[in-house]
Amino acid sequence: MNSLRPELLELTPQALTALSNAGFVKRSLKELENGNVPEISHENSALIATFSDGVRTQLANSQALKEAQCSCGASGMCRHRVMLVLSYQRLCTTAQPTEKEEAWDPAIWLEELATLPDATRKRAQALVAKGITIELFCTPGEIPSARLPMSDVRFYSRSSIRFARCDCIEGTLCEHVVLAVQAFVEAKTQQAEFTHLIWQMRSEHVTSSDDPFANDEGNACRQYVQQLSQALWLGGISQPLIHYEAAFSRAQQAAERCNWRWVSESLRQLRASVDAFHTRASHYHAGECLRQLAALNSRLNCAQEMARRDSVGEVPPVPWRTVVGSGIAGEAKLDHLRLVSLGMRCWQDIEHYGLRIWFTDPDTGSI
């Protein structure tokens, strides 16, 4: 049989698990081992699997796996879709020798990305306009992936963008996939053989003289943060809350007016540590509080240095907007993820009991 769907041959059990779920993959593999192998055929460029119980699954060309049609009646993903891919892979493996893996060229998808809805492309352009840093991974033999500030993208197939997977609520062919492809294309133009790279994307309309503290809001935020920091360094956190309550409030409001997400989050975490000290909470750690206080000023100093380098024509390691989290949403809607619990820690203070639970996403390693 000729390989009409090379992108399906690239889908590993790990990829199929990410595109469906572990239960479907395990059951599909077990049924194939027990001899319940569907009949594979082609009809009008569509791949068809016909099962012994009469169920018929059809996957048209340029369709994602979840878009396949199945007569089993399942509203979403089902094991028949997974078995179609696994059966097709086994059939092609026995029918033809394995070919050497070709170099991945994400530029082949640019034309297809141009056909995406205007709303998707505009959201991507809006993120680029603010300046965004994307961490790219392209190790030979592993799944190419891109890590954005609020989501991760994995390219399970190097032949079809339809099998790119994002952990946002859209799942695939979203603005994050668009940015990931563009970043890979630009990066490979500059460094064709890279395996790990941090790539900056920004609009041509962003001027080199852009300064985070040139406007009144940015300058006020820096001043209020410095005042808060000075009050804590000089007086310590054991002083009564009334001595720095107003300073915390001014700095937090200024960071929110600037829409600097990482600055406001740093302030929130620092305030939580100070409150934990005063309530004698078991999860208070002096070293962590000290780190948070030092990092707060360091973040703004780093943003100033990145802006200075940019102003003299030097490409900074990280855009200043990324350092302060300019325009980044506090929360992002995610698709259904398979989270694995890593453990929990119980805590208590003078008023409450509580616990913290850590989860990880096996697909991305995020915690």
pLDDT in tens, 339-367: 778 888 887 777 777 888 888 876 666 77
How many helices (H) and strands (E) would you count in the chain?
12, 11
Cα separation, 57 vs 76, whole angstroms: 13
pTM over 0.85: no
pLDDT tens digits, 239-293: 888 888 999 999 999 999 998 999 999 999 999 999 888 888 888 888 999 999 9
Q: Does 102 have pLDDT greater than 80?
A: no
Q: Does 2 have pLDDT greater than 70?
A: no
**Mean pLDDT score across all residues of the chain:** 85
By residue count, the chain amounts to: 367
pLDDT tens digits, 160-203: 888 888 888 888 889 999 999 999 998 888 888 888 888 888 76
What is the predicted pLDDT for the residue at 20?
82
Burial 301-310 (b: 16+ CB within 10 A, else e): ebbbebbeeb
CB 174 within 8 A of CB 152: no
CB 229 within 8 A of CB 296: yes
End-to-end CA distance of the chain: 43
Tokens at residue 41, please?
Answer: 């055929």
> Domains of the chain: which residue ranges?
6-95, 106-201, 216-324, 337-367
Q: Does 21 have pLDDT greater than 70?
A: yes
CB 146 within 8 A of CB 184: yes
Strand order in the sheet with 132-137: 164-166, 152-155, 145-147, 132-137, 196-201
What is the amino acid identity at position 141? G
What's 99's DSSP letter? P
Tokens at residue 208, please?
Answer: 């080199």
* φ/ψ (deg, to 5) at 55: -70, 135
Burial 110-138 (b: 16+ CB within 10 A, else e): eeebeebeeebeebbeebbebbbbbebbb
